[in-house]
Structure 1
Amino acid sequence: MIVWLNGTHGVGKTTAGRLVQRLLPDSRVFDAEKVGETLMDITPGLPETDNFQHWPPWRPLVVDTARRVLDYTGGTLVVPMTVLVEPYWREISDGLAGHGIPVRHFVLHAGRDTLLARIAGEHPVPSPFRLRYPEPYAEASRTWLHAAAEVVDTTDLTPEQTAVRVTKALA
């Protein structure tokens, strides 16, 4: 099975993912961003983009990597990864379903003020990349994302409480 933790950049997916993995027996964290980083390392580079998810190879590579890891290890993969473009999510989720891999899709949500405070608190200078995504996330939430997932409002939760809430939802 895959436990996909979606939500905007800076909401706490990576932290929650590590904590969920500790609570789920026989689970591993798969950082699908590493697939994008591999594509970014190709030389000469792939066509210019502001997000590696726009490269068509990224999505099937994520599906194939997850499938192969699960074939090898079994258990559960926890995937903390933002996907805000509905056709990209459909391509990934349909690809996993085509391999018979069940996916529990969670969206970690935080109110705008909480989200911006979390981003500001990460580093001395907030990440310009992360600051570009609250509006695209809000649009995705209104149009499709919250309907396509189980929403966990993390506004008033610690990362540990978020992980427990996700894990309990899986039971």
Structure 2
Amino acid sequence: MKNKRVIFLNGPMGAGKTTVGRLIQRSLAGCAFIDGDWCMDLEPFVGNSETRALAADNILHMLAGYNNCSHCRGVVVAWLMDRPEICRALEEGAAKIGLETAWFTLLCTEEALGARWRGDKLCPWRTEENLKVSVRSLEAFSRLPGVPVDTSGMTAEQVRDHILKHLSD
């Protein structure tokens, strides 16, 4: 029997991970979706090594549950995984569970990121301060594991199609 696959979508805040992840989920029968932000939803938000490890552990726990579910054929995880050690922990943990992995890092130009950011009127943390943080992180994300996908000038549907094509090759 073929192992189930987990598709990790990485990238800076505002790159489109959640939107693209949901589109992939809807395109693949029996696909679950995990938004890594759900796995460390603290008020006030604390983003440090302890809470990142907590979120990674929660993601792996959910992956194990989905792997044991006969109705689930795969999982998409969308999360800002900005540390190599977090990527490694998730990769190794998924392998221990028996999941195949595919990693994609969504990237874009500063201009594209800013336009998306300012177009999102629903997300309360889309502040100018957070946009500056996200822009500063673009270079670091380009060095992290995963197939880089430059989403500049692409719709979310085009990004989904690009990823699905890559997976079928």
Q: Could you state the TM-score of these two structures normalised by the residue count of structure 2?
A: 0.84
1:132 aligned counterpart, secondary structure = helix
Task: Show structure 2 runs of 5+ residues with no match.
Answer: none
Contact 2:67/2:97 (8 A) holds in 1: no
1:57 aligned counterpart, secondary structure = helix
The match for 2:61 is 64
The match for 1:168 is 165
The match for 1:44 is none
Q: Tell me the CA shift for residue 81 of structure 1.
A: 1.0
Aligned residues: 159
RMSD of aligned alpha carbons: 2.2
Tell me, yes or no, if structure 1 residue 16 matches structure 2 residue 17: no
**1:1-171 map, 5 Å:** 1-37=5-41, 40=42, 50-51=46-47, 54-55=50-51, 56-72=53-69, 73-123=71-121, 126-127=126-127, 128-141=129-142, 144-145=143-144, 148-171=145-168
Q: Tell me the CA shift for residue 54 of structure 1.
A: 4.0
1:108 aligned counterpart, secondary structure = strand
Any idea what the Cα deviations from partners look like across 1:87-111, whole Å, max 9, x if unmatched? 1111111111122211100011111
Identity across matched positions, percent? 23
Contact 2:7/2:76 (8 A) holds in 1: yes
Contact 1:11/1:115 (8 A) holds in 2: yes
Q: Tell me the CA shift for residue 25 of structure 1.
A: 2.1
2:137 maps to amino acid: P
Q: Tell me the CA shift for residue 151 of structure 1.
A: 1.2
1:30 maps to amino acid: I
1:110 maps to amino acid: C
Task: Show structure 1 runs of 5+ residues with no match.
Answer: 42-47
Cα 1:102/1:130, change in 2 over 3 Å: farther
Q: Could you state the TM-score of these two structures normalised by the residue count of structure 1?
A: 0.83
Contact 1:36/1:52 (8 A) holds in 2: no
1:51 maps to amino acid: G
State the distance in 1 between where 2:133 and 2:14 align.
11
Cα 1:31/1:22, change in 2 over 3 Å: same
State the distance in 2 between where 1:149 and 1:58 align.
20
1:114 aligned counterpart, secondary structure = helix
State the distance in 2 between where 1:150 and 1:75 align.
22
Any idea what the Cα deviations from partners look like across 1:52-105, whole Å, max 9, x if unmatched? 664232222211211112212431111111101111111111111122211100
1:138 maps to amino acid: E
